[in-house]
Amino acid sequence: MTMKLVATAFAALATQQHVAAFAPAVGRGYSASSALRMAETTALSQDELKKMVGYKSVDDYVESGMVVGLGTGSTAYFAVERLGEKLKSGDLKDIVAIPTSVRTKEQAEELGIPLVTLDTHSKLDVAIDGADEVDPDLNLVKGGGGALLREKMVEVCADKFIVIVDESKLCDGLGPGFPLPVEITPFCHEHTLRTIAALPTCEGCDAVLRMGTSSSNVPDGDDIAVTDNGNYIVDLHFKEAIKDAPAMATELKNTVGVVDHGLFCGMTTAVIIAGSDGISVKEA
């Protein structure tokens, strides 16, 4: 995107006052870039940055006639919102979409987005979702919102997987900045938790059973969190960066009792990043 286009896009967004209810409370602000100053706007909030990348992902990667995977979370929310807008206006036609969670399904239905499932559409043209962490090789940690299994099932079937984040999600190494979620079966869950913590690639992690709401890794209740699939989540807290994310992904997946994990390795087509200097795109 040229400087002029970035400035125009930021200026347009700055005039929009509505922030969707699903999005989290406004986080830390970002300093205005030269593009923003040219557009005579003020620094945008983290939520507004999320909206920028969410809208851009649909504008740049979704075309009429596509099968689209819809992610889950506060950033993916805006991609779903944009898809609904463009279908309503007629800019996009003959789109069907596959949601990755119950709450994304509900949002899409409210917007009138036609929905299908992998049972009828096993091949997707594009999937769009956020991430909790992104490393320099574009490996991801996902699942902070508890939808990691459905997200991976849908996104691995897409010809293109577009990741949308603000710059706070970029890291030098996965692990310390955000706990790694692992979805496990309820049966003998304490045994599975101990088994995971004892894996060689997980050495040094603190394995914590998610409590309360499955969509948050911050404990907010006394009951064990249950996913949309009826499973539990163990969050792995690391003090140091994961040395070999693909190796850990394989070891976790091969552990009996583990349904899936939040490491998304080698799946990313491109990452759209919103930051203080505007929007950038990093391709795999």
Angle at alpha carbon of residue 160, lines to 90 and 4, rounded to 5°: 60
Model pLDDT, residue 46: 85
Predicted TM-score (pTM) of the model is: 0.84
Model pLDDT, residue 15: 33
Active site (annotated) includes residue 110: no
Which residue in 275, 248, 279 sits closest to 264, CA to CA? Answer: 248
Model pLDDT, residue 277: 84
Q: What is the pLDDT along the chain (284 residues), one digit of tens a residue?
A: 433 344 334 434 433 333 333 333 333 222 333 333 333 335 788 889 999 999 999 999 999 999 999 999 999 999 999 999 999 999 999 999 999 999 999 999 999 999 999 999 999 999 999 999 999 999 999 999 999 999 999 999 999 999 999 999 999 999 999 999 999 999 999 999 999 999 999 999 999 999 999 999 999 999 999 999 999 999 999 999 999 999 999 999 999 999 999 999 999 999 999 998 889 999 99
Q: How would DSSP label each residue in 150-207? A: HHHHHHTTEEEEEEEEEGGGB-SSSSTTSPEEEEE-STTHHHHHHHHHTSGGGTT-EE
**What is the DSSP pairing of strand 232-237 with strand 206-209?**
antiparallel
Burial of 192 (0-12, 13-18, 19+ CB in 10 A): buried
In the chain, helix, strand, coil percent, each to 5? 30, 25, 45
44, 19 Cβ separation under 8 angstroms: no
Q: Could you give the C-alpha distances from 240 to 197, 200, 201, 234, in angstroms and in order?
A: 15, 14, 12, 18
Token pair for 38:
């040219």
Within 10 A of 32 (CB to CB), how many other CB atoms are there? 18
What is the C-alpha radius of gyration for the chain, rounded to an integer number of angstroms?
19
In three-state secondary structure terms, 117 is coil
Torsion sign over Cα 19, 160, 108, 169: negative
Model pLDDT, residue 125: 98
In three-state secondary structure terms, 68 is strand
Token pair for 169:
């999600």
Residue type, 238: F
Model pLDDT, residue 42: 56
Which residue in 145, 4, 121 sits closest to 66, CA to CA? Answer: 121
Per annotation, catalytic residue among 151, 203, 251, 283: 151
CA distance 131 to 123: 22
